[in-house]
Structure 1
Amino acid sequence: MASIGPRYDRDKNLIGWQARVIRKGYPTSSKTFRQKKDAEQWARSIENEMDKGIWRDRSEAEHTTLKDALNRYAQEIIPTKKSGDREIGYLRQWQKRPIAKRFMASIEGQDVAMSIKEMEAEGKGPNTIRLHLALLSNLYNVAKKEWRMSSLDNPVELVRKPKLPQGRDRRLIDDEETRLLAACDEGLTAWLRPAILFAIETAMRAGEILETWRYLKDAEGNKVKTKVSDGLQWSDIDLKKRTAHLTKTKNGDARTVPLSSRAIQLLQELPRSHDDGRVFGTTYEAIKQAFARNCARAGIEDLHFHDLRHEATSRFFEKGFNPMEASAITGHKTLQMLKRYTHLKAEDLAKRLD
């Protein structure tokens, strides 16, 4: 049976109404509300669930704040994820938001929507916001399945996600490839040339080819320069089989990349003078700066090193590869993502119509 009683503070001031539901075979459920009618409504809903046999224990979710749940997530879940270094930064930012003080069970879609507006006001882009929401959503799924919070509804599923901007469609046009490579030779950055050509031949990500460092936040929120990729190693290369095996990729899945004859030739011409086993003895940060300088020298505008992955993926389709074959090389998990990286030239498609 349910009982509704007033709750007072130390000065005997009424602060709310506590509802208690006591039913044989069930643990005692209780919750305090500011209004008596809300306490009565809650008690009736609990009793109805018990009558129908669909009652679920809410105590854990109703007494665990989002901040505390995020701390547990940081201790138990993030260490098992390959993207943990990046996710810890998103997690700490969630903990600083007003929503973090709320109990897990009390957070609704409108609360998450408010957080989205906060992030937009802070200048965060749609994709960054989506990554923050992905972490929060996974936290709720874990809490529901593994942390005795089976009554939880995932509030992230109730909000509209920021719309991603249309993907870049920048490809090399006309004689840009020739001009870019010539600029590398003229600008005393010939070491950049094989990295550019290898990226075009393989569609590998910059972090898969090159050693990469980023500033990530530690547990206290301080920025720390951290290596996030070792880059391609000679031990990953099998020249006889013409493959490069990548054990650590952005999406977390290992893959083996087939190498073209041109890619093999590039590798055979590279010196093996790096003690740490790297194929390309430089970092993505150095490549990025040198790439921008050479583009300027060659008179090429709005071209990024990452655009070479778009170029390579599109060339695979122009060579006749089907989506399954292309995705096996590039590592795209979904056709939608593969489509964002594929930009076929209309003039090339027109030739196939003859």
Structure 2
Amino acid sequence: MESPDGNSLVLASGVAGARKKRWKVGCLNKTMAREMEAAIKTRILLGQEKSMYAKPVLFKEWASIYLDLEEVKSLRSIEGRTHSVQAHLIPFFGRKLLSEIKPQDVESFRSQRRKNNGKPASIQTINHDHVALKHCLNVAIRRGILQSNPASKVPMPNPHNERDRVLTETEWVNLYQVAKSHLKPVLVIAYQLGQRFSEIVSLTWDRVDLRRGFITLRRGDTKTRVARQIPMTPDVQRALQRLAKARSLASRYVFTYKGRPLKRVSRSFTTALKSAGITDFRFHDLRHCASTNMRRAGVDTATAMKIVGHKSEKMWKRYNAIEERDLTQAAQKVHKYLEENTPGTLEECAANSSR
């Protein structure tokens, strides 16, 4: 905005009498132009645009610019990130100067964080807000607005929310049988290939090669920003072939409901679980099922990680459920190996030694 004397600039959104100041950035690319706009706003906040009214940067001022950055808007978690910043971080830190935020302020935020019903938020929920704050301040550091990140100096406790719930073979059959028709193919691809729900509902037909039997996800399709090829199991291939025969050319999405792209299955999934008599199970647990079944089937770790989309062995191990039957089978495999490779049995050795 331009100040009354016409010689100085200040961000003055909503101020009566303020006039817009326009810059010619000499760029026709919209993304580049928005980045340059953000850079100009940053310079104004820093007082580098010869503004008499430049002042230290408030968190709420920087947060507004942060959410408008292309690098932030392109995040897969942008919806949750925006909610964290606008609904929780700005109300708490908004009137503080960026340079005045201390680690103890971050700790205070964590301790006072509440859900909408007034009850304390879960550790995982608070950690999500904490991650958003850390990234927000890290971007400010990269742009020269801040010297250090106080949010990085406060540890985030482990929520200990690891789950090892996997379906038994009988539970899976029961769940599939009672599921609604639009839910069945979603369940199959999640249970057998371990794709994330977001990867499933955003899948488009140009990513599906039914002839070769592969699903190809590009960097922008995955949570980890790593492209990967997923081989279809025969069940998945048949399910997708049926969908392809009935597809509407008006939609490019593979999974639809009443002609529209499928967005959520919470209601139909909950209904199916109840009908199948399955408790303590979430849709995301299907990834645990896929990982566990691949290990039991003998798929090597590196290949299984690429199919499911795990970047680290630590995460892969977390998604593997080791049950009593796995331990029993391991013991049986060891016994079989020793029996085939050891001359004589222990009983024979004991009998010979007693003679």
**TM-score (ref. length: structure 2):** 0.68
CA distance in 1, matches of 2:213, 2:152: 44
How far residue 257 of structure 1 moved from its aligned partner, in angstroms, is 1.6
Alignment partners' CA distance in 2, 1:132 and 1:346: 38
Partner residue, 1:71 = 64
The structure-2 alpha-carbon separation of the partners of 1:96 and 1:73, relative to structure 1 and needing over 3 Å to count, comes to: closer
Give the alignment's Cα RMSD to 1 decimal: 2.7
Residue 101 of structure 2 corresponds to residue 107 of structure 1: yes
Secondary structure, in 3 states, of the residue corresponding to 1:96? Answer: helix
2:246 to 262, 267, 272: 272
> Is 1:182 aligned to residue 157 of structure 2?
no
The normalised TM-score by structure 1 is: 0.69
Q: 1:243 to 1:94 in 2, by over 3 A?
A: same
| Alignment match, 1:346 | 324
Q: Which residue of 2 aligns with 1:246?
A: 217
Of 195, 198, 201, which residue of structure 1 is paired with 2:189?
A: 198
**Which residue matches 2:229?**
256
- What amino acid is the match of 1:137? K
Alignment of 1:163-178 (within 5 A): 163-173=158-168, 175-178=170-173
- Specify which of 270, 286, 292 is matched with residue 292 of structure 1: 270
Give the match for residue 125 of structure 1: 122
> Which residue in 2 is equivalent to 1:235?
206
Letter in 2 for 1:352: A
Q: Is structure 2 residue 288 aligned with structure 1 residue 310?
A: yes
Counterpart amino acid of residue 280 in structure 1: F
Aligned positions, number: 271
- Indicate conservation of the 8 Å contact 1:207/1:284, yes or no: no
Flag as ranges the 4+ runs of structure 1 deviating above 6 A: 58-62
Instruction: Output one character per residue of 1:285-313: Cα deviation in whole Å (capped at 9) or x when no partner.
Output: 66322222222222222222222111011
Which of 81, 84, 100 pairs up with 2:78? 84
**Aligned equivalents of 2:178 and 2:97: distance in 1?**
58
> Which structure features the higher share of strand residues?
1
Counterpart contact for 1:141–1:154, Cα < 8 Å: yes
Structure 1 gaps of 5+ residues are 1-57, 211-230
Which structure 2 residue ranges, 5 or more long, are not aligned? 1-45, 49-53, 333-355
- Contact 2:294/2:304 (8 A) holds in 1: yes
Q: Please tell me whether the aligned partners of residues 199 and 312 of structure 1 are also in contact (alpha carbons under 8 angstroms).
A: yes
Percent identity over paired residues: 25
Q: What is the letter of the counterpart of residue 300 of structure 2? A: N
